[in-house]
Each structure stands twice: as C-alpha cells, then as structure tokens.
Amino acid sequence: MRIPMNMEHTELAERSGLIRVAVDAMGGDHAPAEIVAGAVQAASEGGVAIALVGDPGQVEAELERHDAGSLPIQVVPSKGVIAEGEQPAMALRQKPAASIVVATGLVKRGAADACVSMGSTGASMAAAAFILGVIDGIDRPALGGPVVGLAPRTAILDVGTNVDCKPAQLVNFAVIGDVFARQFLGVKQPRVALLSVGAEAGKGNRQVKAASDLLDKVGLNFIGNVEANDIFSDVADVVVCDGFVGNVVMKLSEGLGTALSERLRSTLADRLPREEADAIAKVVHELSNPVEGAGGGPLFGVNGVSVVGHGRARAGSLKRAIGIARLAVETRFVEKLNEELGRVRETVDS
Amino acid sequence: MRIPMNMEHTELAERSGLIRVAVDAMGGDHAPAEIVAGAVQAASEGGVAIALVGDPGQVEAELERHDAGSLPIQVVPSKGVIAEGEQPAMALRQKPAASIVVATGLVKRGAADACVSMGSTGASMAAAAFILGVIDGIDRPALGGPVVGLAPRTAILDVGTNVDCKPAQLVNFAVIGDVFARQFLGVKQPRVALLSVGAEAGKGNRQVKAASDLLDKVGLNFIGNVEANDIFSDVADVVVCDGFVGNVVMKLSEGLGTALSERLRSTLADRLPREEADAIAKVVHELSNPVEGAGGGPLFGVNGVSVVGHGRARAGSLKRAIGIARLAVETRFVEKLNEELGRVRETVDS
C-alpha cells in the first residue's frame, strides 16, 4: 500500500496504532539509498508508518529496489537539501522546501509524530527550533546521550551547540539527562553528575561551581562532580557539561579510538592473522565511535520529537534512529521533559 | 663525595659546569625510594648535581642502598610534605619547611638552577607562584606539553589550574606553547592552534572567538581552530585551551586508554598467549597515559625552572624529569619566555 501524502495516511496510522515517523530521505552521506533501505526495514518490523520526505523521483526509484509495496510507507515531496556546513538559519530561509524543513513541518502540523534525519545536525536543530519551537527556558536545543562507546550506559550532555552556558542551562541539561536516563536507559533513579576538574565539591570553573550550588536544590539525585576519566567507571548515569566541553569529549573519544585502532592494526599484524587483527581494530574503532552505530538521539528542549543521527549512517543506524523516535513518542518524552523543566525552573527561580 | 648543603656545593657545580637540580625527595607515591633511585641515575649519567630535599634520615637511608658516594649528590633537610589533596596555599603557610617549599627556595636564592617534584602539582604551583613569582601578565602558572600519548609531538596547554580564562590568557598559552615547541620539541616554526568545536574561523565559544581575533595579530604561526579529534592528526604543534578543557582532554585520554586496554586484554586473551595479550594491552595503556612515563613538564609563567611530574613516577620518570629541568636551564627557557610574553603583551595591548 503506497499512499499519497494526505490525511488518509494520518488517519490510517492513527487507526492502526502506528507511530508516524517523517524521515528526511535526503539527509546523510548515503542518502537516499541507505535511508530508504533503513526505513523499509523499520516499517517491515512493524509499529511505525513512515513518510519518506525527499525528491520524489529519487526516493521512488530507491523504493522500487525493495519489496515495500504492502508497507505503510509514503513519499512526501521536498525540494533541496541543507548540507553539512551550510549556515543553518540562512539555509532555512533560502530553502523553505528542503527535506528537513518539510519533515519537521509534518510534526508541527500533526501529520507525523516524530521526524528523523541523518543530515546536517545544525539544520535539524534550526528547523526544530524555528518550526517546533523550544521549551520555555531553553535557549537552543541540546543534544546528548551515550556518546562514548566504552560508557554505553552514561548519558553525556550537552554535546550540541550550547557552547556558552549559564549555570541554569547546566541545570536544565541535568534535568534533561535525568528524564532521558529514566526513559531511554531504564534507570530508576539516575545518578546525575557535573563534569569538572576534580571530584571534590568546590572544584571547577565558575560556571560549574554555580551550577553545583543550584543542583543541590532541585531534587535530582545529584552526586556532585566527576572527572573525565570517571566517565568509564560507571559512577554516574548522567554527566552534565556545556556543549563546548561535550564536543571535546565526543570528538576526542572518536579521534583517540580511531588512532588507537590504526596503531593496533599494525601492532597485531605480526602476531595474528590479518582478519583477526582487522576484527580487533574494528572493535576498538566502534567502541570509540558509537554514534555512527547507535542510530541517533532526540533533540532536547524542543516542542516535538526530532531525532538526529550521524551523517555516515547506513540502513541499520537509520532503523535504530526510527526506533528511538518511536520510543520517545511512546514514552511521551517531550511532555515529561516539559513538566520536569517547569518544576525545576520554579525551584531555581524561587 | 657527599657534600653538605653549603656554598661549596654550589661553587663546585658551577666550576664543573653542572646544572644544579633540587629534587623534592618526599613528593610522589613512591617517595623517597624511587625518587632517590632516579636522582642517583641522573647524577650517574652526568651533567647535573642533585640536592635531595627531604627527611635526612629517610633520604640518607635510601642513598645507602646505592653506590652514590662519589656522585654530586647532597641531602638538604626539610620537614613535612604537602600531600595531594591538601589545599596548597594553606598547606604552604602551615608547613614552611615542607620539601617542596625548601626545594623551590633553593632555586629562589640561587643555590639551585631548577627544582623537580613528583608530589602535589598544586603544591608545586603554589610554591612556585609564591616563592619564585609569576611573570607579568600571568595570573597563575600554566602546565602542559605532549599529554596525549598518541600525539607525542603535540603540546597541549593549559592542562593546569587556569579554569576561568580571559582571551588574553589563551594568547599567553599560545606564546608559551610556541616557545616550548621550539625548545623542547625542536620545531622551527610551531603551528599554533586553538581547540574549538569546529575548524572554521568563527566556530567556538565567546572565549575562543575573542582569542582567535587576538592571535591573528601577535605574529605567531597561528593556524586557526582545530577540533579534539585533530589532536591525533598532527595538524598542529601547539593546541591551546583553557585549563578546564585541557584537564578534560588529559583525563579523558587516560580514562579511555585504560578502559580500552582492559577491554583489549580480555578480547585478546582467547587469541594470543597471555604475555602477548598483556604486552599489547600495556602498550595501549602507555599510549594513553604518557604523563607517567614522560617524566614531567616545567611550570609555565614562573620566574624560575620548576618541573612537576606524575605522582606515580618511578625512578626512570624522575630521571627524565631531571633531564627536562636541565634542558630548560640550558636553553634559558624562562628568559626566552619572558621576552616573548613581553613582546606579545605590547602587541595585544597596543
């Protein structure tokens, strides 16, 4: 059943209890082929109806490669793509029919429950902020989750674009991380920590010290400071930092893992069969570059579910990102987050 | 020849062209045994005269274990040690005869050319700042060098206690890194970069953007921003960041390497003989934890040579730290740094 972009699809999905996910079919290094393939996989496994947003000719051609005729997938036309590196706000104005704009718009007007993109993270953020709007008290969307492979149960945030944070923003990230860890990692009472330069209270820069004082008051399970090496010791479920520091954490982890992996490959070459050495090097690489494999994460602090993933995503990652979008919708992540942020804002302000 | 702490020693060293290094014999996890052993090694290899500053009974007892009678080593008595974790400024007042205080004092009054400690870095910094004084325009000593093992030719600074930096401080770190890379890494025209969240100009937080504008003017070989993963790509000789970010870089690298090393040991256990698996895991650990092995680095921005090393240092590291102190003295590192900082200050201020 290939249905056109109209109310029938929406009604159909609602009747059958499917979560409706708008997928940016043009975003990512391997779009549209891998994106369409991942969407077909997700739809095959059930639970979701997919709107593939993109150039109709290209997307239809990719769909023809799959046995997708009976799946709840439709094509929604868009024009243009916002590429990685384009200035997002300007690109949004210049390309009002770009795939990420149309996909986010479907969420805004209730024709989809969530959107997913492997394209420019900046474009997803800008589209979400402008079209869906941000939650009260959030300046711009935040981003995070288990971004370090050897700490797959530790959510780190912000790793997005909040590079100049007031202490109250770090408190917001703590609240977001708390809700995220409950809903996505299944932790009952997440241990929330601030990333700092010493574990003792009072260690840190001005921003962290002030945030620490605020976090003592807001009713989270705040365990104080952790240092960067503690990320690997499972002492905290949520590690809070500003987006500048979070970006350094994520990129250093990726870079170090990639460099170690290459070094290992040559070290092992003399001792193991080539395939085994390659396999071990690959494990090290994947452990350090989890974002490519994990699928993606929701943008935090926007009024709607928008999941962003890695540009290098292939079909499997896209499918997992759709799963994350579905989970966010099913657990009412945005509503829950709104409530918690409102509650904490009252505490911090009072 | 065991000579007492007096002018004879100074004159002797000067006559013989030896660099006189005061070593904090009580600082570090393995003090005094490993410290004394390292000092004996350094003195045996020539070029330095050593003043071992510590509890005379303990230090003499350790010296007795070595065939050090003919070496230019003397014992200088001190009382007490400032431990890791003590509040340095307060400890300095409470323990005016502590080993690091006495060792730094020898440099101040010209009885030693440099001091070296594997004890509390904070105590070394406080002693250097209070006793030797900081260079004009430096708020507190900075610390850095090749702290990431897979980037052994890339100096990263600050990794010390400057956790709230004005843009002009980052410029100072750039100048320090430039002089360090020339004198310690032998780079003719060091490529100096700012650590940021994107390689493009204009990417970063307010601090980094303002520092970037200043760095365009000061006559260094400033190549702009690098991202954390670029540290492993040899695109820059000097990577500048504030001490908060630098601490995260250093500790994350250590923590990730340690975690990967442990994971590897178990992954390899099935495929290689135990010793080989252990050896490979050890290489990964060492690549990620270079500071333990490298010896140490000079405190930057103080009026004198004070080298600090890792608390876990053993004899070999202490010997290498003494070598670093010697190199700093021989290359007139402090004087050169003073000149460059003065020159740049005029440019930035004008």
ipTM: 0.90
d(C-alpha A230, C-alpha A227), whole Å: 5
**What CATH number does the domain containing B221 carry?**
3.40.718.10
Amino acid at B109: R
Residue A345: inside a domain? no
Task: Specify whether B153 is located in the same domain as B284.
Answer: yes
Give contacts of B 259-288 with A, CB under 8 A.
259-260, 263-264, 267-268, 271-272, 276, 280, 283-284, 287-288
Q: Judge whether A148 is closer than 8 Å to chain B, CB to CB.
A: yes
Q: Which residues lie closer than 8 Å to B243 by C-beta, 6 or more apart? A: A197, B142, B143, B158, B159, B160, B161, B162, B163, B165
Task: Specify whether A71 is located in the same domain as A158.
Answer: no
pLDDT of residue B4: 44
- Determine contact, residues A245/B245, Cβ cutoff 8 Å: yes
Task: Specify whether B123 is located in the same domain as B179.
Answer: no
pLDDT of residue B10: 54
3-state secondary structure of A350: coil
3-state secondary structure of B318: helix
What are the chain A neighbours of B267 within 8 Å (beta carbons)? Answer: 280, 283
d(C-alpha A89, C-alpha A70), whole Å: 38
Task: Specify whether A321 is located in the same domain as A257.
Answer: no
Structure tokens at B82: 């400032």
Question: Where residue A188 falls among pLDDT bands split at 50, 70, 90?
Answer: very high
Cα-only R_g, chain A: 21
pLDDT of residue B209: 96
CB spacing of B256 vs A148 below 8 angstroms: yes
pLDDT of residue A138: 82
- Most distant CA atoms of chain B, gap in Å: 65
Task: Specify whether A15 is located in the same domain as A64.
Answer: yes
Structure tokens at A276: 């085994």
Strand partners for A307: A116, A298
Residue B239: inside a domain? yes
What are the chain B neighbours of A257 within 8 Å (beta carbons)? Answer: 256, 260
- Determine contact, residues A58/A75, Cβ cutoff 8 Å: no
Q: Judge whether A253 is closer than 8 Å to chain B, CB to CB.
A: yes
Q: Judge whether A234 is closer than 8 Å to chain B, CB to CB.
A: no
Query: What is the mean predicted confidence (pLDDT) over A293-314?
Result: 89
- Say which of B233, B247, B263 has its CB closest to residue A287: B263
Q: Which of A273, A290, A307 corresponds to the end of one domain?
A: A290
Question: Where residue B263 falls among pLDDT bands split at 50, 70, 90?
Answer: confident
Q: Which of B242, B268, B290 corresponds to the end of one domain?
A: B290
pLDDT of residue B287: 75
CB spacing of B283 vs A271 below 8 angstroms: no
Q: Which residues lie closer than 8 Å to A136 by C-beta, 6 or more apart? A: A341, A342, A345
d(C-alpha B174, C-alpha B193), whole Å: 8
- Would you give the DSSP letter of residue A300? B
Residue B54: inside a domain? yes
β-pairing, A73-77 vs B296-298, is unpaired
Task: Specify whether B183 is located in the same domain as B313.
Answer: no
Q: What is the mean pLDDT of chain A?
A: 90
Task: Specify whether A135 is located in the same domain as A149.
Answer: no
Helix-strand-coil split of chain B, %, nearest 5: 50, 15, 35
Structure tokens at B277: 């698996």
Residue A346: inside a domain? no
Residue B154: inside a domain? yes
Task: Specify whether A29 is located in the same domain as A109.
Answer: yes
> Does a cis peptide bond (omega within 30 degrees of 0) precede residue B32?
yes
Domain that holds residue A110: 7-139+299-339
Query: What is the mean predicted confidence (pLDDT) over A335-343?
Result: 91
Q: If you count residue pairs, one on A and one on B, with CB atoms under 8 Å apart, how many are there?
A: 141
Question: Where residue B6 falls among pLDDT bands split at 50, 70, 90?
Answer: very low
- Determine contact, residues A148/A196, Cβ cutoff 8 Å: no
Task: Specify whether A132 is located in the same domain as A257.
Answer: no
Q: How many other C-beta atoms can be found within 10 angstroms of the C-beta atom of residue B91?
A: 22
Task: Specify whether B133 is located in the same domain as B238.
Answer: no
Structure tokens at A98: 């770009």
Q: What is the DSSP string of B55-103?
A: -HHHHHHHHHTS--TTSSEEEEE----PPTTS-HHHHHHH-TT-HHHHH
Residue A282: inside a domain? yes
pLDDT at A113 over 80: yes
Residue A117: inside a domain? yes
For chain A, what is the domain count?
Answer: 2
Q: Out of A60-64, B123-127, B259-263, pick the least confident.
A: B259-263
Task: Specify whether B66 is located in the same domain as B162.
Answer: no
Residue A348: inside a domain? no
Task: Specify whether A176 is located in the same domain as A231.
Answer: yes
pLDDT of residue A291: 62
Total-model pTM: 0.91
Residue with tokens 């004899």: B315
